[in-house]
Amino acid sequence: MNFRLSTLGFWPLLFLISVIIVSCSVNNDATRDHLVFRYNEHSNIATLDPAFARNPQIIWPTNQLYNGLVQLDDSLKIQPDIAKSWRIVDSSCTFYFTLRNDVFFHKDKAFGEQETRKVTAYDFEYSFDRLTDPEVASPGSWVMNNVEMYAAENDSVFKIMLKSPFPPFLGMLGMRYFSVVPKEAVEYYGSEFRRNPVGTGPFRFKLWEENVKLVLRRNPLYFETDSRGQQLPYLEAVSITFLPDKQSEFLQFTQGKIDFISGLDNSYKDEIITTTGRLQPAYKDEVNLITTPYLNTEYLGIFMGADTPEIQSKALRQAINYGFDREKMVIYLRNGMGIPAVHGFIPKGLPGFNSIDGYTYQPEKARALVEQYKLETGDSKPQITIGTNSQYLDICEYIQRELEKIGIDVEVDVMPPSTLRQMKSSGELDIFRASWIADYPDAENYLSLFYSPNFTPNGPNYTHFKNKVFDSLYTEASRISDIERRKELYTKMDSIIIDEAPVVPLFYDMAVRFVNKDVSGLGINPQNFLVLKHVKKSK
């Protein structure tokens, strides 16, 4: 009897304990939610090894995990990172970086019982070695093309010597490719270092269930502090999900399950912003809209190696450029989130952006150029095909309709992004939709797309444009440190591109962020890098 009574009393007691545990867990999660920053990555993350940080989906998490010699602030000014100072010997193109002595790698079993150790100049020597190691096969190996030599002078001084003057190089060092990694961890994990990252950044790796969830935790050893001396970061964790559908991502954002979304997708653009680029009234109380010019030029590339008369005709290439209204395109297809590309190829935010007049909408001039093409070639029905992916189909269809009004027959060929990239690289598309996001904040990065030694696959010259005067100016500019003189040369080169028309600039992009109002400290920058070490959440 006593046993039966005890048993009957046990189950309500067990239920009560379970409720208390669950309740405490929920309350604890709720009280700590303001310490976790959540975002969604709709593209897959292939690796967390900075030697492979070639696109934004990899750069964003590796920005939280690693540091380099220098970093760029939101104004793209070069700031110290692990290097606390540096000096440059111009006569020999040599840089001497003096490192901080309080930077530690994340704690990891690769270090054995000591768990971690300080970063030294020899770690940078090893990390630079990886960029040029054919066995590593880093897609960022090109960043070392102008480096003659590099070496650790001692534990705290790292030396880099260039083959020739290259003014953008110091800014390039802020790229994630140049992050420092420990030899112990790379050797311990081998090929699995891609999913067992060990760096020095404000957050350290916790877990990664590929295509499901990636979690980073606060690095208690991080060396940076805020202006009041408080150690960064403020957050305890970063949680990344992988919903592939942008509409689902937007729904998660509106439900408060993720803290921000980046970019403007057709699936929700009209829902959240007006045609003039302002927040819709329904979102004003809950969401902050942050924008800035983005170092990204959206364009149509014309493969100059094609032997069709339409491609070889400068008159027809110019007619395409004059034949559609960029202002109207940005207003109605981008809700005003972009800057019509009516100057050169260099985007807003870089020296030389508005130094020249590019193509504006001039339909009569466009028709006259089409007639000139017909007289020169005898071709009475010019036809072109534009290769694109589905994301930019609306823009390409708009251009199609407008060009048909001036006498050019246009076919739009829609293909998967991977196919578009492959065919663009191999010269299989006469005209292709493309974009160029700056690798580093210097106009040289954009003009390199037209330097003839950079023909794909050896470089980024996808159009196979070749011009002796352009090449000569490009070579001259690479040797000049004075920014004003370089700006003059950049303007001359950009003018050649506009005149010869191997591309059709569409718009200079805007970086767009929709951020929940409980988030503060999330800035925005012209390269749209995600930096979370200063972020706080109020609830």
- 520 backbone dihedrals φ, ψ, rounded to 5°: -130, 160
Helix then strand then coil, % of the chain, to nearest 5 = 40, 20, 40
d(C-alpha 26, C-alpha 17), whole Å: 14
* Domain count along the chain: 2
Q: Same structural domain for residues 186 and 219?
A: yes
CA dihedral 387, 393, 397, 400 (to 10 degrees): -20
**Within-domain flag for 24:** no
**Within-domain flag for 37:** no
265, 531 in Cβ contact below 8 A? no
d(C-alpha 198, C-alpha 181), whole Å: 7
What does the pLDDT look like over 448-505, one tens digit per residue?
999 999 999 888 999 999 999 999 999 999 888 788 898 999 999 999 999 999 999 9
Over 80: is that where the pLDDT of 9 sits? no
Q: Rounded mean pLDDT of 351-355?
A: 77
Q: Same structural domain for residues 174 and 128?
A: yes
Q: Which amino acid is at 62?
A: T
Over 60: is that where the pLDDT of 38 sits? yes
What does the pLDDT look like over 244-292, one tens digit per residue?
989 999 999 999 999 999 998 888 989 999 988 899 999 999 999 999 9
Q: Rounded to the nearest 5 degrees, what angle is found at the Cα of 123, between the Cα atoms of 120 and 124?
A: 100
**Within-domain flag for 232:** yes
Residue 265: both structure tokens together: 């997708």
Residue 247: both structure tokens together: 């509409």
What does DSSP assign to residue 268? Answer: T
146, 164 in Cβ contact below 8 A? yes
Q: Same structural domain for residues 465 and 359?
A: yes
Confidence category of residue 26, pLDDT binned at 50, 70, 90: very low
Length of the chain: 539
Residue 248: both structure tokens together: 């689902």
**Within-domain flag for 395:** yes
pLDDT recorded at residue 31: 55
d(C-alpha 289, C-alpha 451), whole Å: 38
**Within-domain flag for 435:** yes
State whether the Cα torsion 300-304-309-314 is positive or negative: positive
Query: For residue 505, what are the β-bridge partners?
Result: 299
Q: Same structural domain for residues 168 and 313?
A: no
443, 480 in Cβ contact below 8 A? no
Which CATH number goes with the domain that contains 170?
3.40.190.10
Residues of the chain with pLDDT > 90: what percent?
83
Q: Same structural domain for residues 55 and 160?
A: yes
pLDDT recorded at residue 459: 85
Q: Same structural domain for residues 71 and 200?
A: yes
d(C-alpha 336, C-alpha 71), whole Å: 31
Q: Structural domain of residue 145, as residue ranges?
A: 50-245+518-537
**Within-domain flag for 504:** yes
Q: Same structural domain for residues 110 and 180?
A: yes
Q: Same structural domain for residues 102 and 219?
A: yes
pLDDT recorded at residue 6: 43
pTM here is 0.85
Q: From start to end of 275-351, where are the E strands?
A: 287-302, 339-340
Q: Same structural domain for residues 311 and 421?
A: yes
Q: Same structural domain for residues 213 and 331?
A: no
Query: For residue 92, what are the β-bridge partners?
Result: none
Cβ burial, residue 200 (10 Å; 0-12/13-18/19+): buried
d(C-alpha 460, C-alpha 448), whole Å: 7
**Within-domain flag for 179:** yes
Instruction: For residue 535, give the nearest of 518, 510, 514 by alpha carbon.
Output: 518
Of 55-59, 120-124, 290-294, the range with the highest mean pLDDT is 120-124
What does the pLDDT look like over 174-194, one tens digit per residue?
999 999 999 999 999 999 999
Query: For residue 279, what are the β-bridge partners?
Result: 273
Cis peptide leading into residue 453 (ω within 30°) = no
202, 533 in Cβ contact below 8 A? yes
Q: Same structural domain for residues 225 and 337?
A: no
Q: Which amino acid is at 330?
A: V
**Within-domain flag for 256:** no
Q: Pairing relation of β-strands 536-537 and 519-520?
A: antiparallel
Q: Same structural domain for residues 305 and 211?
A: no
Q: Which residue shows structure tokens 């030029």?
A: 297
